[in-house]
Structure 1
Amino acid sequence: MRPSHSAQLNDQGNQHFSRGFYTEAYQCYVKALEADRKSGDQRAMVATLGNLGNICAVSGQREQANNYYQEVLVLQKLLGDDRGISSTLANLGNLHVDAGEWERGRAYYLEALDIMNLYKDDRAKAVLLSDLGLVAKETKEFDQALEYYSQSITLMNRVGNHAGQADVYKMLARMYLAWNRLDDAMACANTSLAIAERLRDELRMGGAWYTLAGCHEASGHDEEAARLLHRVIRVDRKYGLPKLEENSQRLAKIQQRLAEKTQTNS
């Protein structure tokens, strides 16, 4: 059976999205939505509106993303799509968390979790629990954050999401760093790095090195922090990551401290 015009346009949009061509992706999704509104196909409309919400979210158009997600939510409730509803609620939570609106983000996440508990999707639940852990960490509720992160790691291990485990151990390390538990932070960052190395995932290795650099800097080990930041910067440069300049400036400050220390000791 030949895909509908909307499905073809969404597929084209997804291809543009995956390459970072957000304007082109948005244009495809808008055309797909026009086709959906003409056909009246609500399920197709849900997919298209979700894609529009996602593209607006990553492009920083929060209000527009919110409007698309809210429209998706109305349709999903009409269709009785609990799995879809929980996903959209999580997306709405992400919008508010990205803006630092921790309590509003938490409210959406908890609503999504309530629905998610009605059906078994450990993979999605593991990600949602890590999101709740981040909110708890940012609001200084470290014990609660630890509980959420631990549950997330257990579920990710169950479903074989090793990349996700690496991410959560990195998040745990950052939580312990904020909690001033440096030994625990270092242990979690090293666990994240070990998983990333097994996966041969350079981007996640870079994230773990960055976190380890923070641990060493907080411990006063500037030489080791500088060595790790050199690695981070190589990854930044190789993949064209946005924090290249910021990380380069941070490395320069550490190197300046090391030079001043050498002069003082000489």
Structure 2
Amino acid sequence: FVLMGSYERGLEYYDKALEISERNNYQHNISLSLSNSGVIQNKIGNYDEALNLYQRSLRVSRSLNDPVQTSNCLINIGTNYAEMGEPEKGLDYVQQGMEMKIELGDERTISNCYIHLADIYSKLEEHEKAIELLNRAIPIKEELDEPDGLIRCYLGLGSIAYHQERYREAVRMANMGLEIAREISAIEYIAEGYLIKKEIAVKQGDFRSAYQFEMQHSLYMDSLMDEAIAKASMEIEFRTRSKVLQHENENLKIQSNLDQLLVRKRTMVFHSSLVIVSVLILALILVLYYMRRHRNTSLKLEEKNLVITKQNLKLDQVNKTKDRMMSIIAHDLRGTIGNQLTAVEVLYRIEGDDKVEIDRKRLLGNLKNSASYSLELLENLLHWSRLEEGASNYHPEEVKLNTLVSNCLSLYSESAKNKELVFEKDIKEVITCNSDKIMMETIYRNLISNAIKFSNPGGTITIGLSKLDGKTRFWVTDQGIGMSEEESRKVIQNGGITRRGTANEKGAGMGLALVQEFTKIHNGELIITSETNKGSTFEVIIPCLN
């Protein structure tokens, strides 16, 4: 929830964790819960409450003689004091935490301390010390391969150089930070880099460049806002669906409790009747009657409990679907949109400038490929989510399969051309089949896309289609990297594996899962023949029944 920006929900769960830990006297977990809650309070600007939580966590971690958590608390307290406008106190606490980290040999956190201390010295206008600390952090971040930390160092050096009126150095540092930020699509840092460059241009009197940098800054800030709005919308939808299911569960539990009270009441009446009734025959009739009623009520109670169990399973499925969708959107889709933004930024920057020579056709081709991948990912995501929720409908109709194959080849012709791949068609007749058009097109599209993705440049991809004994056979053969027997078995059993293509193309791991599910819906069969470094053949056999 914190990564999604839902800080209130994050605090809610950390409070629950703290309550359980205190009830069971889990001291280490108490310290972690307090510290994590403090981080959220710091993010939303409640610095006093964050300081209180950090100090409580520090007392617990010291009582446990836990140097790792104690040093983390000291560093958090120091950065919090700095943001509260008390940099001297912050400096003391961060230095204490860093000394403990040095004893522990935690290079990553030591380099983070250098950056924290540099921020504090910058606020104290001791720029030379700040520069020294950032230069000490850079080689450590490079060795640990932490691009996020490198960006913070370069942008920090750029900001200091700006305040020292060393504008050329400030621009150089800002550009280095921007270069890394673009590589990892770190939109927030890109916006910060353009803000620094805008302020430098203003100081130098280059107002035209300042305007352009301000436009870039606004563009990326709008992207951050759109991303936050999308996350908030998904969070609202998830909350609504969860509340509906929770409300239904509560109603069923209330009804179940009422039925249990009814069973108890009738049991009491039953026993009382045994005492009162003196006639053996009448007593026997009453016993049989109440036993039958009791059994019926118990059956109804079991049915309601079964409904509650099904609702809980449905809620778990909704949670899993939401988590998978968030992961794909946060990583794969965000990366492609970042690439598109970068391409648009380049085109915007060179528009009207005849002095700049650039291969616009190649750039537009890359933009088109990125957009095609985004569309393919969204379509697969839509089909997959419908399958997960049981909302996918099967609508068979008379379909001309040759047309579907031609459409798919046309769709991926540009991608194949970029990798110098050749399509060979092995189709000798016009083939029609009573099947679901959308599902068949999804099967063909994903198999052809995978063949392109995992083929080496300059290879050949064979696409075949035939019909025999009332069954259609569609196959795709490539000369790519292939798969081992273990990987082929995982695809058949689990529906897919996730790995990058020969040109580092991304994949979400849903394509083959959709192929397998849609083939099963058509009562068909997926056959995989593959050998490592020699290529693969994916064959789908579907019966054509009325």
Identify the TM-score tier after normalising by the shorter chain: 0.7 to 0.9
Residue number in structure 2 paired with 1:35? 20
Say which of 56, 59, 70 aligns to 1:74.
59
CA contact (8 A) 1:126 1:152 kept: yes
Which of 188, 191, 205 does residue 176 from structure 2 map onto? 191
* TM-fit CA distance, 1:138: 1.5
**RMSD in angstroms over aligned alpha carbons?**
1.4
Give per-residue Cα distances to partners, 1:149-190, cap 9 Å, x unaligned. Answer: 101112111211112101110011001111111111111111
Task: Give the Cα separation in 2 of the matches to 1:25 and 1:151.
Answer: 35
Distance in 1 separating the partners of 2:166 and 2:85:
24
Q: Which runs of 5+ in 1 are unaligned?
A: 1-15, 242-266
Q: Per chain length, whose mean CA-contact separation is higher, i.e. which structure has more relative contact order (CA < 8 Å, sep 6+)?
A: 1
Distance 2:186 2:28 in 1: 36
**1:52-91 correspondence runs (5 A):** 52-91=37-76
Alpha carbons 2:14, 2:36 under 8 Å: kept: yes
Residue identity opposite 1:93 in structure 2: G
Partner Cα distance (1:61, 1:204) in 2: 24
Q: What is the aligned residue count? A: 226
Q: Which residue of 1 aligns with 2:202?
A: 217
Q: Corresponding residue for 1:126?
A: 111
- Residue in 2 that maps onto 1:21: 6
Moved over 4 A (4+): none
- Cα distance in 1 for residues equivalent to 2:98 and 2:14: 29
Mapped contact 1:209–1:229 kept (Cα < 8 A): yes
Q: Residue 8 of structure 1 aligns with which residue?
A: none
Q: For residue 195 of structure 1, report the CA deviation from its aligned partner.
A: 1.4
Indicate if the aligned counterparts of 2:187 and 2:223 stay in contact, CA closer than 8 A. no
Q: Separation in 2 of the partners of 1:178 and 1:100?
A: 19
Taking the aligned partners of 1:27 and 1:193, their CA distance within structure 2 comes to: 36
Q: Secondary structure at the match of 1:18?
A: coil
Q: Return the offset for 1:216.
A: 1.3
Query: Cα distance, 1:92 vs. partner?
Result: 0.5
2: distance between equivalents of 1:236 and 1:224?
18
- The alpha-carbon deviation at position 63 of structure 1 amounts to 2.1
Q: For each residue in 1:94-150, what CA deviation from the matched residue of structure 2 results, as whole angstroms up to 9, or x when unmatched?
A: 111112211011111111111111011111111110111111112111111111110
Contact preservation (8 Å) 2:171, 2:197 = yes
Q: Counterpart in 1 of 2:126?
A: 141
Residue 157 of structure 1: aligned partner: 142
SS at match of 2:91: helix
How far 1:213 sits from its partner (Å)? Answer: 1.2
The percent of aligned pairs where both chains have the same amino acid is 21
Alpha-carbon distance in 1 for matches of 2:160, 2:166: 9
Answer whether contact 1:72 1:88 (CA < 8 A) is retained: yes
CA distance in 2, matches of 1:191, 1:25: 35
In 1: Cα distance, 2:137 partner to 2:200 partner? 23
> Which runs of 5 or more structure 2 residues have no equivalent in the other structure?
227-546
For 1:159 and 1:55, how far apart are their aligned partners in 2? 26
Alignment equivalent of 2:95, drawn from 110, 124, 137:
110
User: Does residue 228 of structure 1 match 2:213?
Assistant: yes
Report deviation, 1:32.
1.8
CA offset digits 1:52-101 (Å, max 9, x no partner): 21122222222221121111111211222212111111110111111221
1:239 aligns with: 224
TM-score for the superposition, normalised by structure 1 = 0.81
Distance 1:43 1:83 in 2: 11
> Which residue is 1:174 aligned to?
159
> 1:101 maps to which residue?
86
Distance 1:227 1:121 in 2: 42
Q: Secondary structure at the match of 1:100?
A: coil
Aligned-residue offset at 1:227: 0.5
8 Å contact from structure 2 (residues 158, 196) kept in 1? yes
More helix by share: 1
- Within 2, Cα distance between the matches of 1:225 and 1:171? 20
- The AA in structure 2 aligned to 1:158 is E
| Alignment partners' CA distance in 2, 1:237 and 1:73 | 39
Question: TM-score, length-normalised on structure 2?
Answer: 0.40
Cα offset, 1:197, TM superposition = 2.2
Name the stretch that deviates more: 120-129 or 193-202. Answer: 193-202
Distance in 2 of aligned mates of 1:173 and 1:186: 7
Q: 2 CA distance for matches of 1:51 and 1:119? A: 21
DSSP 3-state at the match of 1:118: helix
Q: Name the aligned partner's letter for residue 97 of structure 1.
A: A
- Indicate if the aligned counterparts of 1:122 and 1:156 stay in contact, CA closer than 8 A: no
Q: Which residue of 1 aligns with 2:466?
A: none
Higher strand share: 2
Deviation per residue, 1:232-265 (Å, 9 max, x gap): 1011112118xxxxxxxxxxxxxxxxxxxxxxxx
